[in-house]
């Protein structure tokens, strides 16, 4: 850029100054555009989620209205030890990140708690994973659109629990309530995500279901959180959803002993 400096020093006409200003402006705009280009998320459509990896991925970029972006580095996700119950193994990474659903570039996203998980079935029978959780329970049908990242949030003692599971009804429904699930075949694997908004709030079904309702506690030293997943044999009543054949319409019930897999509590780091 030396020649530009010389021109500025020797030129006094307004025309020359305008030309120099334009020449200086063009490279700057190009630099901002290149530096502000957000890194695209991994190869994931938000339905099945990425495979768990021990390598931390680049955090997605928060997107604002009009295409504005707010990039920001987040703490490295923690790879928690796998949990095995019978023929089922749950692996997960837990940390801070951004929701991927809905896939709309006009939505402004803020960081929250994110779990990315995989479930493996090493047995010889198909199983059902209750990980397509509607916003509430009680209906005998599933909504056409279910947030695949939604999970219940409650306190299990002193542990903040993020869980995809069923709960036992406390009343008799005229029509049996249902929830969303996915089938994992013998020897198969599936992956998914759970996202919790910050500040963290209690998120459980209505009082027609037996669910923990203690106030959420996230402040103070030594806070921990865990992720849980409800996995059980496929019932005869489970059937494919008309809106999404990959989602099963399954009866709502609380997990039997050994059907709720939970990671070991890990330190809670909020964004």
Q: At what angle do helices 14-35 and 2-10 cross, to 10 degrees?
A: 150
Whole-number pLDDT of residue 105: 82
Cα–Cα distance for residue pair 117/125, rounded to 1 Å:
21
The structure tokens listed for 186 are: 């013998």
Q: What angle do CA 270, 167, 91 make, to 5 degrees?
A: 50
Is the pTM higher than 0.85? The answer reads: no
- Pair type for strands 127-132 and 178-184: antiparallel
Whole-number pLDDT of residue 72: 61
Whether the bond between 78 and the residue before it is cis, its omega within 30 degrees of 0, is: no
Whole-number pLDDT of residue 67: 35
Whole-number pLDDT of residue 34: 34
- Pair type for strands 224-233 and 159-164: parallel
Cβ(162)–Cβ(93) below 8 Å: no
Whole-number pLDDT of residue 42: 34
Walk along the chain (271 residues) and give the pLDDT tens digit of each residue. Answer: 433 333 333 333 333 333 333 333 333 333 333 333 333 333 333 333 333 333 333 333 333 333 333 446 778 899 999 999 999 999 999 999 999 998 888 888 899 999 999 999 999 999 999 999 999 999 999 999 999 999 999 999 999 999 999 999 999 999 999 999 999 999 999 999 999 999 999 999 999 999 999 999 999 889 999 999 999 999 999 999 999 999 999 999 999 999 999 999 999 999 9
């Amino acid at each position: 850029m030396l020649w530009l400096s010389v021109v500025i020093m020797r030129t006094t006409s307004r025309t020359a100054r305008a030309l120099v200003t334009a020449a200086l402006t063009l490279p700057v705009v190009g630099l901002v555009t290149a530096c502000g280009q957000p890194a695209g998320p991994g190869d994931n459509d938000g339905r099945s989620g990425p495979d768990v990896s021990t390598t931390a991925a680049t955090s997605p970029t928060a997107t604002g209205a009009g295409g504005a972006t707010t990039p920001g580095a987040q703490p490295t996700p923690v790879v928690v030890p796998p949990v095995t119950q019978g023929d089922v193994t749950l692996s997960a990474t837990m940390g801070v990140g951004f929701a991927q659903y809905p896939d709309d570039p006009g939505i402004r996203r803020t960081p929250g708690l994110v779990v990315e998980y995989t479930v493996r079935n090493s047995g010889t029978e198909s199983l059902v994973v209750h990980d397509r959780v509607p916003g509430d329970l009680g209906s005998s049908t599933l909504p056409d659109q279910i947030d695949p990242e939604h999970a219940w949030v409650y306190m299990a003692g002193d542990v903040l629990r993020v869980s995809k599971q069923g709960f036992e009804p406390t009343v008799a429904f005229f029509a049996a309530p249902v929830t969303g699930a996915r089938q994992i075949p013998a020897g198969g694997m599936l992956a998914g995500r759970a996202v919790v908004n910050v500040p963290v709030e209690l998120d459980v079904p209505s009082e027609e279901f037996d669910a923990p309702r203690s106030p959420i506690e996230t402040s103070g030293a030594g806070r921990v959180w865990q992720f849980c997943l409800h996995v059980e044999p496929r019932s005869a009543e489970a059937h494919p959803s008309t809106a999404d054949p990959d989602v099963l319409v399954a009866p709502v019930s609380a997990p039997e002993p050994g059907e709720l897999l939970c990671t070991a509590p890990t330190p809670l780091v909020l964004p």
